[in-house]
A and B are shown apart, each in its own frame.
Chain A
């Protein structure tokens, strides 16, 4: 059976687990969903989710627990990865002043530069109907102290923008969203991620 790991150090973990279960039920598929707090499990996964939370906390503990290197290894093997909110920061290769001053650990899995709180503080957090390239109708996106991609390399495909800021993008097997698809009932973006997880299995067969 396919195995999908949700990095469970801190943040929106149970929401992602629930969302994956709903998405799997929708497509009539089955997969083992595991939460990951310590090293040793990431290498056994066919798909990985980096949930939202506080990027400074997540980065520190991922290194301390030895998970960061394992995620890099999995990415190198082509395992599909979904990062939301703080996950988008962790996947990036460069951060703004805010990211730098906390000595934030970055996984450098996307050729992107990110702003930690691109839209402001919590009072500026928002919901909006967002046009996403791979979806045929707008998606109700929830942005909470959200980051954004401010620069990206040629290999990065932009999927959604708000003004000049990139809020959804993909590079190879890595997908980054600045918002929280796990907080709403619309499973389309989790399905998009699962398409890659299951599609990869079909290819290898």
Chain B
């Protein structure tokens, strides 16, 4: 979607001037200061943050909902009385959710490729885009895991859903705060939005290993806790 607006920015020196007059903190928050917004990589790098927010909200809601919908729609008395363990139910739902995420990412990928074609992007952009799609996917997996944990652990599905949105928005705000001051930089470890920096990706064409490990740990712990919680929890009918 954002790509369509890019034509206003494309190789337009006036834009740089406009941004130079913005307060640095705002630019930092919007990820604009370090990327050249008049190039397609730079523009996409700026849009990255918004896409990341959207896919993260989608993923955590999907995770919380895919578990709690059985209780919300009262289908639990149908779906959970079959001769299978709760763990198997969770596993099935995780796979279904991952397929969902993969489809969303493939569609996004194809969409960006189509819309950016007229700006004749170079090889570097394609590599950056590929990396970004992987980054979105990993963000989705982290938030999906957190969503599934909420769905599995919380007895009241309404609370799971509202907490899910709060977590995404809270960590998003943290990621903005962490960029504002050196003193707050440590916050970046607490927000998945900082794990995949578009600047880092466009410069090194790689992810930061520390954050990759952190992502893996968060995902595995969340999923592990989800299985434990769901196996013991009373279903709310």
- A and B are partners in one complex rather than unrelated chains: no
